[in-house]
Amino acid sequence: MAQPKALMNIAPRPAQVFVRGEGHYLWDSDGRRYLDMIQGWAVNCLGHSPPVITEALARQADQLITPSPAFFNQPSIELANALTAASCFDQVFFASSGAEANEGAIKLARKFGALHRGGAYEIITFQGGFHGRTLATMSASGKPAFAKLYEPKVSGFQKAVLNDIDSVTRLLDEQTVAVMLEPVQGEAGVVVADDDFLRALREITREAGVLLIVDEIQTGVGRCGKLFGYQHTDIRPDIMTLGKGIGGGVPLAALLATDAVSCFEYGDQGGTYCGNPLMTAVGSAVLKTVNTLEFLNQVERMGAALTAQLTDLSKRFGLGSVRGRGLLLALDTGAIDSTTIADRAMDEGLLVNAPRPDTLRFMPALTLGEDQIEEAVSGLSAALNSL
């Protein structure tokens, strides 16, 4: 299909129109099936339309869709309890998108700075980082394509270099209130923050009385093989944001903080859809499914299996290394343009993402099995052979 006139043309999109999804597969309007290793951008952690989600939606839609953000509702209390029990955080604010959760994190840090750090408001973020598409979260991001967009930027974000602790120390001063990062930079092409770097960050931020914020919108909810990415180390951040996987495909995000940091007062934060029962009921169903040792161990096993198969494929075609954690993986395609490979893969019935000209990214459903790994690798082989 050509670009539909009534939709703003904001990205190059393939001609197919997708009409149905089930588990690891998507179907277009011609009835063609695709193995989906994108899954709504690491969103559908249980695959397309899994019964746990469709049933939770149907049950809750029948019961209560939204009372008002000014009233309590049971599903949001339940999900907040489950998230705080499963993490080092004590309190939760729900939002509808990752960017909105990150805006909340930035506001909370600034409020903390106003109350406890003499008005400090600067947040150190990282080159290559991605935190969303609102004005503040674009300003916090270190994505080169954002650098000249929508000037003037929201001020107060200084960019350090990931895995370079000295670059952070150099920027830390009395104006700094927080350091904010993704445990694995997703949009930058799957760049892992080293465990030692995270530990060092926690140490210097604690010493300076500065908050540590982890943006786990992509890495959270089992994606990297632990429930949350920060749990690969023994650190305890002050603030965490979730999005994508927590909703399993519906718009749900969350801002979590420790008691010591949860300093919003009446009127400081809110939103019409924040904590609505329809979405938080889904969040609870997703979390219950993902947060078992058996499920998370299986993510690690499948991550290792996909890594091994991609490494083997890379050797056969003379490509680069495989990097990432759990089921957030990238393959370095070297001199071969990754967008061309992704386009050919689509012709072969395989959906993969090319976040950078030399990188293919894999973010399949966490329920991935050996069969899908084999199918993905054979689709990629066919795509590479056709070049």
What are the residues binding ligand PLP (CB under 6 A)? 97-99, 102, 130-132, 182, 186, 215, 217-218, 243-244
Q: Which residue is nearest to ligand PLP (CB)?
A: 98
Q: How far is the CB of 294 from ligand PLP (least distance, A)?
A: 26
Q: Pick between residue 100 and residue 375 the one whose CB is nearest to ligand PLP.
A: 100
The catalytic position among 94, 228, 244, 264 is 244
> Which residue among the candidates 36, 111, 215, 228 is catalytic per the annotation?
215
Q: Is 312 one of the catalytic residues? A: no
Residue 177 or residue 191: which is nearer to ligand PLP going by CB? 191
Query: Which residue is catalytic, options 112, 126, 130, 228?
Result: 130
The nearer residue to ligand PLP, 83 or 383, going by C-beta atoms, is 83
* Closest separation in Å from C-beta 87 to ligand PLP: 17
Residue closer to ligand PLP by CB (options 257, 319) is 257
Minimum CB separation of residue 333 from ligand PLP in Å reads 21
Measured CA to CA, the distance from residue 114 to residue 124 in angstroms comes to: 17
**What is the residue whose two structure tokens read 């749990």?**
231
| Cβ neighbours around 336 below 10 Å, total | 17
Contact 208, 118 (CB under 8 A): no
Question: What is the closest distance, in whole angstroms, from the C-beta atom of residue 129 to ligand PLP in the complex?
Answer: 8
Least Cβ distance, residue 184 to ligand PLP (angstroms): 9
Q: Which residue's CB is nearer to ligand PLP, number 183 or number 379? A: 183
Is 244 noted as a catalytic residue in this protein? Answer: yes
Catalytic machinery residues: 130, 215, 244
